[in-house]
Structure 1
Amino acid sequence: MLILRTMQNKRICTLGVIITIWIFSLHLVRAYDVKSPTALTIKDSPDDLNRDEESQLHDDDDEDLEVFRPTDKWQTLKPGQAVPAGSHVRLNLQTGQREVKLGEEERLKYLRDGNGPGTINVQNPSFTSQELKEALKKFKEGLDDSADTKQEEDAVRAQFRSMEELKKDMAALDMLVETDVQVMRRLLNQFNDTNSTTEEKVTALHDLEYLVHQVDNAQNLVSMGGMQLVVNALNNTDIRLQESAAFVLGSAVSSNPSVQVEAVEGGALQKLLTLLATQRPMMVKKKVLFAVASLLRHFPFAQSHFLKLGGAQVLSELFQTTGADALRVRIITILYDMIIEKELISQVGMDLIPDSSHQERLRQYAKVSLLPVLVEQGWCNLVPELLASPEHDWREKALRTLLAMMAQCQTQFKQNPTLIYSLNELQIQYRELVLTEHDVGEEDGYFGEILALVDSMMVKLQ
């Protein structure tokens, strides 16, 4: 019996252990099935993980964050508020607060949906009282924006003045805009005023010279009687007025035939030659030569009148004056231009169908017998003197003038040993200079042109 009871007790203990293990297993399985904040959950798929995270974030936003609904105006963002994607956020440096408004795409959608200032959603014809109040509020905000815009426009407009205001200010400052004619009339009045000082008259002539470069202004000078005032000023005893008047005259007649006629008929050429033939400072004679050259250029009537007044003789005496080296090249240029003009007009006449105007120019140039006068007054021996100058420009102009005079001066050139010697020396010198030009890659340089002129002279004198 004892043995049997002992065996029964062992069975009861074994059954209790089994039941205890089974109950513990049930609790363990339940623990795995229940989620806890600290439980580690393993997902089989990344998609399931993303869905759970998005769901958790969405739940957190709905529970913890207040979503701010921006409009198309900047509004202050409170702490803890979230904004929709695509919104513009900025930091107001004055207040230190963040501000937000709709992005461009959202703003357009906002306006299309009838949420903009002063708009009503026409897709929903039924409106509540609250909706009408909101619409009226937004409409008033739109009016306030328009008022602000108008204020900005007024502020910008206030920075500028109207033309009427400018005219009043200029009139108050005596700075009314003048036309060229008005300026010229004022300058002529200043020059002709007996109360004006010499300095004021010189200033008026300088300002006038700047204006008469234009063809119309030079012609207006004639019509206003100013040309005669300028010509008469050449006789003034003050050398500053003589110089300035010659400068104005030369600028006015340059390439202006109608003004050239008025100047010649007004006695300008005779007065200019008088200044060249008498004792005058070099600065005066330079301006006078400029006026003579401008008056004679392309004007055969003036050239003929120049020869009748003894202009070639006046230039010859000036050429030989001691200390007049700076004027020599100017004188040679005047003579060369007169010779070439006549030759060119004759050559052009052979290629063109003659008309009345061209025939008249040929007739006028036929009256200009310059070369015989130059031979008679010794220019065949005067021009070669410029070849002794160290200036290449002077030599070039002298050679061109000698070639232009060759038809009338060839015999005298051949009998001038100084000329032959100078040409030989120049030929040697410029051949070396041409080689120097070739070394630096200049095949048709300036020295080559001068050498060609020297070679032409040598050929014609053989």
Structure 2
Amino acid sequence: MRLMVFSHHRGWAIVVVLLQCAQLMTTLAQKSNCALTVVEKTEGGITQDDAEAMVTEDSIAEEHPEVVQPTDQWQTLKPGQAVPIGSHVRLNLQTGQREVRLGEEQMKYWIHTRRQKKADAESYFGADELKHVLKKIKEDSGPLSKDSQDQNRESKASQFRPLEELKRDMAELELLVETDVQVLRRLLDQLNSTNSTTEGRLQILLELEYLVHQVDNAQTLCSMGGLKIILGGLNSSDYRLQESSAFVLGSALASNPTVQVEVVERGGLQKLLVLLATPRPLSVKKKVLFAAASLLRHFPYAQRYFLSHGGLQVLSELFHADARGALRVRIVTLLSDIITEKELISQAAADQTLDSTDEELLRQYSKVSLYEGLLEGGWCSLVRELLDSTEHDWREKGLQAMLAMSPVCLERYRLDVSLPVCLGSLKVQYQKLANRERTPGEGNGGYFEEILDLLNMLELKLK
């Protein structure tokens, strides 16, 4: 009986102990505000799930606790240590200690940061690697040995073919490059050949005209005796050859004193006057007049010869015979240019701004009796006729020539009663055109404004 009572009391003691343990665990759970996970028992231990808990700032017991930085692995928490918000905390029932690791969101951020750092590290040189690369560059850019330099030269030379080999290959392909001098020599030989046809000569003259625009080529043509061949073409019975020869001659003469002197010495001016004075097609007359104008401009010696051999008379006959007016503008422009040249050099002498070369030009221009020839040839009235044209260019050239000839023609202008009426009518017309031509916000200077200025200057001289 006593034994049974003892056993009964022992059973109640066990129940009381279990109830106290349950109460203690409930109290711990309420104070820690954590969700527990039972750790499963393994060999030699308890087999329950892990206890995971979210630790908040309210769980920090101390005023300045030690904060543990969790990682992706579980680590043991010491008493008094705190963890950041969002970390996972569990109670390991096997060891009886609290453990912590990164929370789910923290884990995602940690993995992303690790990947970014790894990518950044792969995109840049490390310090050691950078030093190695710089050292390599310095070694490669160092002075080459003599053998290396020879090898580099041989390598570069192997990339190009010798000049003689290129010439030989081009000669076989009939692609040998010619200089302008060689081309001029070849063309002149072909032009002077008796085997050349008329069509072939016309093509050769066209090529020569293109080349002699350059001053050096034109002078080379002279030194090769080419002017004799070109001047000979002016005497051809074929008008096409006359026209083409005159075209080449005019291009070679333009602003080229060397060629101008030789043409005069070879009698070229006289040949040009003959062609202008005798019946020729209009196309031939145009090219011959172009050559004559190129010879006379800025060459007072040729101008004096031209005047002394009836040049103004020849031009006057051309002016009257030109019903269409294609030659009239060219003739008046030539006369205006020659007058302007002489006036400019005279003005420079009056201003005492001449050098030795200008003084010689002044002396030569003083022997050119141009004004007298213009007055005697009736050019004051001839130039005035251009104002009756409907072409703006003709009127412009006529006004410029009348202003240039005003020193000798002013009295004749004043005697012409129809001239003031003509000028007044033109002023009204070009004033309207100039107004239409002006752009708002911009100054003057248009084409019609220039013609209006010429009209005003001529009208001012007549007063």
TM-score with structure 2 setting the length: 0.71
C-alpha distance 286-36 of structure 1, shift in aligned 2 (>3 A): farther
Superposed counterparts of 1:401-420, under 5 Å: 401-420=401-420
1:448 deviates by 3.0
Verify: 1:49 aligned to 2:71, yes or no: yes
Gap change, CA 1:39 and 1:164, over 3 Å in 2: farther
Aligned pair 1:171/2:191, yes or no?
no
- Mapped partners of 1:186, 1:204: distance in 2: 10
Q: What does 1:174-253 correspond to in 2, within 5 Å?
A: 174-253=174-253
Residue 457 (structure 1) aligns with? 458
Relative distance call for 1:13 and 1:234 in structure 2 (3 A) is: same
1:176 is paired with a residue whose SS is: coil
Closer/same/farther in 2, CA of residues 436 and 104 from structure 1, 3 Å limit: closer
Aligned partner of 2:459: which letter? M
Name the residue aligned to 2:286: 286
Q: Distance in 1 between matches of 2:361 and 2:331?
A: 24
Paired with 1:282 and 1:39, the residues of 2 have a C-alpha distance of 118
Task: Give the CA deviation at 1:51.
Answer: 5.3
Partner of 2:449: 448
**Secondary structure of the structure 1 residue equivalent to 2:194:** coil
Give the whole-Å Cα distance in 1 for the aligned partners of 2:12 and 2:124. Answer: 78
- Quote the residue 2:424 is aligned against: 424
1:452 maps to amino acid: D
Q: Determine whether 1:274 maps to 2:294.
A: no
Q: Which amino acid aligns with 2:9?
A: R
Residue number in structure 1 paired with 2:50: 39
8 A contact 1:318–1:324 mirrored in 2: no
1:67 alignment partner in structure 2: none
Question: What is residue 66 of structure 1 aligned with on the other side?
Answer: none
Provide the secondary structure at the position in 2 that maps to 1:181.
helix
Check the 8 A contact 2:39/2:50 in 1, yes or no. no
Displacement, 1:15? 5.2
Question: For the residues of structure 2 that align with 1:381 and 1:361, how far apart are their CA atoms?
Answer: 30
Amino acid at match of 1:320: H
- Which residue pairs with 1:139 in the alignment? none
> Percentage identity across aligned positions?
49
| Distance apart, 1:186 and its partner CA | 0.7
Q: Contact 1:231/1:267 (CA < 8 Å) preserved in 2? A: no
Residue number in structure 2 paired with 1:141: none
From the superposition, tell whether residues 16 and 398 of structure 1 become closer, same or farther in structure 2 (CA, over 3 Å). Answer: closer
Q: Is the 8 A contact 2:40 2:49 kept in 1?
A: no
Alpha-carbon offset, residue 261 of structure 1: 0.3
Cα distance in 2 for partners of 1:266, 1:359 equals 27
Between 35-44 and 347-356, the greater mean CA deviation after superposition: 35-44
Contact 1:212 1:251 (C-alpha < 8 Å) held by counterparts: yes
CA distance in 1, matches of 2:435, 2:39: 113
Paired with 1:380 and 1:37, the residues of 2 have a C-alpha distance of: 131
Counterparts of 1:424 and 1:386, CA distance in 2: 16
Gaps of 5+ in 1: 54-83, 89-101, 117-149
| Residue equivalent to 1:384 | 384
**Structure 1 residues 201 and 35: alpha-carbon distance in aligned structure 2, compared to 1, 3 A threshold:** farther
Amino acid across the alignment from 1:238: D
- The equivalent of 2:364 in structure 1 is 364
- Deviation, 1:391, is 1.7
Equivalent residue number for residue 57 of structure 1:
none
CA shift, 1:173, in A, is 1.1
Give how far 1:221 is off.
Answer: 0.9
**Does the residue aligned with 2:321 lie in a helix, a strand or coil?**
coil
Residue 13 (structure 1) shift: 4.0
Matched with 2:8 is 10
Counterpart in 2 of 1:68? none
Aligned residues: 378
1:302 aligns with 2:302: yes
In the other structure, the counterpart of 2:345 is 345
SS of residue paired to 1:39: coil
The letter of the residue matching 1:342 is K
1:331 Cα offset (Å) = 0.5
State the distance in 2 between where 1:378 and 1:299 align: 24
Question: Post-superposition shift, 1:159?
Answer: 8.5
Pairwise CA distance, 1:107: 11
Moved more, 197-206 or 334-343: 197-206
Q: Which amino acid aligns with 1:331?
A: I
Alpha-carbon deviations, 1:381-414, whole Å to 9, x = none? Answer: 1111100111222111111211222222223223
Q: Where do 5+ consecutive residues of structure 2 fail to align?
A: 25-37, 56-66, 76-116, 137-150
Q: TM-score, normalised by structure 1?
A: 0.71
Find the aligned partners of 1:390 and 1:37 in 2 and give their Cα distance: 118
Q: Structure 2: how far apart are the matches of 1:220 and 1:40?
A: 109
Report the CA distance shift for 1:213/1:105 in structure 2 as closer, same or farther (over 3 A).
same
Q: How far, CA to CA, are the matches of 1:268 and 1:8 in structure 2?
A: 161
Take 1:272 and 1:107, find their aligned partners in 2: how far apart are those partners? 87
